[in-house]
Amino acid sequence: MLIAKDLSTQDKTWKLLHAGKFQARPGVVVMKFGEQLRSSVIREYQWYYIDYNGLKAELKNATGGASGNEWTEDDEKRFVGKLEMELEKVHTKQQVKAMEISRRIAVSEREVKDVVNRLLERGLGEAGPSEEEFMLLEEDLSDIIADVHDLAKFVQLNYTGFYKIIKKHDKMTGWHLRPAFDTRLKAKPFYKENYDASVIKLSKLYDLVRTRGSPVKGDSAAGGGQANFVRQTTKYWVHPDNVTELKLIILKHLPVLVFNASKEFEQADSAITSIYYDNPEDWELYEGRLKKTEGAEAIRLRWYGGMQTETIFVERKTHREDWTGEKSVKARFAIKEKNVNSYLRGELLPAALFEKARKEGKKSEKAIAEDERLASEIQYSVLKKGYKPVCRSFYNRTAFQLPADARVRISLDTELTMVREDNLDGRRRCGDNWRRMDIGIDYPFSQLPAEDIVRFPYAVLEVKLQTQMGQEPPEWVRQLISSHLVEAVPKFSKFIHGTACLFPDRINLLPFWMPQMDVDIRKPVAHDFGIHRPGLSGTTTTSDDDEEDIDSDDDDVVHLVRAGPSHGQSSAQGLQAVPTDTEGQTVDLPTTNEDFPIYDSDDEYDENYELEEARRIGGWHYYSALVATKARLFGAGAVNVLKHVVPAPRGTRVPRSARQQMLFGSQTIQQKKFKAPNGKKIYVPVRVEPKVFFAAERTFLGWLEYSIYIGTIAVTLLNFGTHPTPLSFWTAGIFTLLAILSLCYSVGIYLYRSRSIRNRKAARYYDKWGPSVLCSALVIAVALNFALEGRDRKIW
């Protein structure tokens, strides 16, 4: 991830917006949309894109008023007419191309089935279909995949163009066209095309062709017979512009995992809904999962499909630290929806819950006993600790995996939405029921008020790799996770994000990814990776070399923090102009402190957060924290005054290098440090193992040993001979003072580190100055003693 720092913006903070939404200050490395549109044109569609420049020219061609620059009703009619023509052009092309793709998929399906049937029905001695036939089918499917990819890019780019030109119109003319045009868009919804059904059909066909008519079958939970393996799970954010392309890339390597292959795909089949529980008084489960403490739990109720689903899964996820030798576990059991309320209220005991399962005998007694124990523990926790529903997450999941091989499992969650489920503010959202019933799976849930919902702006990609010891993951997976299509966000949690966003007045400890939510994650294409047509190195593009007129409308820029377009296919000239090693650009930035932290919580102490926490606790703790805070502020102010009063060389602002100018232009660079609002703190995950405590103790004992040596030298000098000289007395005093200072310093550092480790704070555990200062003092003391002793003996 490229994070640059502008020294003039260090003190700026990200804000807490309305409806509990947190927003970071976005980067302003910009590209004009008109230039982006020209550089992303696909040749087949080049005459069907929105005429963005023509519409902009219409806005600048006002004819009314005395000066001839006032926007009139005639101007509005002329502009709306041209806009309607552009919408009709784009919508017609999208419809025609979508029908063509659908027909091509149907024809390919018949051809694939014909070839596969010939292969399966061939008799003894018959050759069956040739390898060349399968290769031709694969090329044809690859071409269809490229068509779906290009259509998705075409739709996305035009939708962005319409949105931007309407926003520009409303701003420049003062006439509000957006509400009326929304109605026209709904009548011609070219942008609402869902490619999931096409992706699943193409996945089945491509898998048949790739495996030459023998797709892998088996249990999707199987581990491939591995006895010694390493499991690694990483999460990534995917920009909506890249979702379809990512799906099409993955399906060429892994089939879409379908649990019921005989059933025609429906959108509800991919819907997953979970309701998370917590104690709204202390948010025990939220903070435990955020801090990743040993044994931290998450309790949720999950169902698949629509609200009419009768089977509900009660799940508990338990986090285990690596040093325990155990793995984090997720356990669950199924319950009928009609029994959920009585179970959570304690009216239906686990023994009665599994009585029917025992009678039917479909599961072993051991499995039933484990489910019953889990049900008892979860029911006890809910009743004893006062857990209540607080947050619902909804998303549509596309899973990719070989049915009998769990070495590579990839899931992509789109349309991720978090919804409040609580009754904390007096509103009866779910009442006495275990879930609210006013919503289902009808994304985007437009009937909900803004304070009840958070629509996550990105898709979430989860890559699970289960490889043997010493074995590298597949090359295509490594290319995928290092490509421009994804942004790694380790330890991202839907529960944590939803709770932090939906309860801004109650949650004060925020996840580390929160300030970056409104930073555009799109990146330039770093290497030749993506969808290609058979026999071509990439999809053909066209671009216009004419310069676009530059205006001062900031709404007409696409914020690209990572510099460069990622829509469709960039021009070759554009790719050559941007260095591929974008992370390396930060080394040339002017910095005043190499230890400058990205987050304010990297510092051990945050006076605003500590003071707010102390105010909530009250009593003597608050007054002591208040005094400490004021003392720190006074000390910091005194230091700042001294810095300005005492003469010292001042740094000179270094102008940007040619590389920085090429990458960022003359615009402001995104600030590096994110600072939370007052009373809140960004929590950076800190991994604590038992050996960390032992290391702190060993370091303290090392300092103690050093102090004892210095003290022994002092005692020896003081007691050497019957009558010590004044010189030996003062020298012994210096060594004694040094030993005492070493002891005090080591005790202070040990207490500081121990408290930071216990509180899992992201403090600096290295000692930057202590060893150097004490060793220098020891050298000075020895040298001084040597010099004075030589003078006393009249050697010099």
Q: Which residues are catalytic?
A: 494
Is 601 in contact with 682 (CB distance < 8 Å)? yes
Strand partners, 397: 413
Strand partners, 681: 509
Alpha-carbon distance 462 to 412, whole Å?
6
Alpha-carbon distance 787 to 796, whole Å?
9
Residue that has been written with the tokens 């966000």 in this structure: 489
**Taking each helix axis from N to C terminus, what angle separates 131-173 and 178-187, rounded to the nearest 10 degrees?**
160
Ramachandran region, residue 669 (left: φ > 0; alpha: ψ -120 to 50; beta: rest): beta
For 205, the token pair is 């066909």
Q: CB neighbours (10 Å) of residue 249?
A: 20
Is 330 in contact with 316 (CB distance < 8 Å)? yes
**Type of residue numbered 389:** P
Distances (CA, A) of 409 to 254, 404, 729: 9, 11, 74
Asked whether the bond before 255 is cis by omega within 30 degrees of 0, the reply is no
Alpha-carbon distance 31 to 280, whole Å?
44
Ramachandran region, residue 495 (left: φ > 0; alpha: ψ -120 to 50; beta: rest): alpha
Q: From 397, 463, 399, 402, select the one nearest 220 (Cα to Cα).
A: 402
- SS3 state of residue 569: coil
Exposure string of 82-107, with b = 16+ CB inside 10 Å and e = fewer, is ebeebbebbbebbeebbeebeebbee
DSSP alpha helix (H) spans, 334-438: 340-344, 350-353, 355-360, 365-385
Sign of CA dihedral 378, 381, 386, 390: negative
For 421, the token pair is 């489920």
- SS3 state of residue 646: coil
Q: 634-637: long-range contacts at Cβ-Cβ below 8 A with a sequence spacing of 24 or more?
A: none
Q: 221-228: long-range contacts at Cβ-Cβ below 8 A with a sequence spacing of 24 or more?
A: 221/406, 222/404, 222/405, 222/406, 223/406, 223/407, 223/466, 224/404, 224/405, 224/406, 224/407, 224/466, 226/407, 226/466, 226/468, 228/468, 228/469
Residue that has been written with the tokens 């839907």 in this structure: 494
For 406, the token pair is 């769990």
- SS3 state of residue 690: helix
Q: From 306, 315, 309, 313, select the one nearest 285 (Cα to Cα).
A: 315
Distances (CA, A) of 243 to 101, 567, 642: 19, 11, 55
Helix, strand, coil percentages (3-state) for the chain, rounded to 5, are: 50, 15, 40
